[in-house]
Amino acid sequence: MKKFAAIVLLGILSVGWSMPASAGARSDARSQSRASRKAEKQQRKAQKKYAKAQRKAQNKMIKRDRKNTRYPR
């Protein structure tokens, strides 16, 4: 029984060592960088949308102030 367990353990370890160590790391690095790029893109998009809304509100306020300004006669 001990010999069988040792052989199974040795087989599992040899399969793990036969794979290149960088194979799993590369796919993780790519997915991480893709995810970070996607997050940055979403951040930029949200900031751009917020800035546009701010400009629109500011222009609306200026227009309303101009419209409501009455000069004395």
- Over residues 36-67, the pLDDT tens digits come to 999 999 999 999 999 999 999 999 999 999 88
Burial 32-69 (b: 16+ CB within 10 A, else e): eeeeeeeeeeeeeeeeeeeeeeeeeeeeeeeeeeeeee
The tens digit of pLDDT for each residue in 5-34 reads 878 777 787 766 666 665 555 666 777 899
Give the integer Cα–Cα distance in Å for 48 and 60: 18
Residue 23 token pair:
């194979």
What separation in angstroms does the CA of 16 have from each of 9, 21, 32? 11, 9, 23
What residues does each domain of the chain span? 35-68
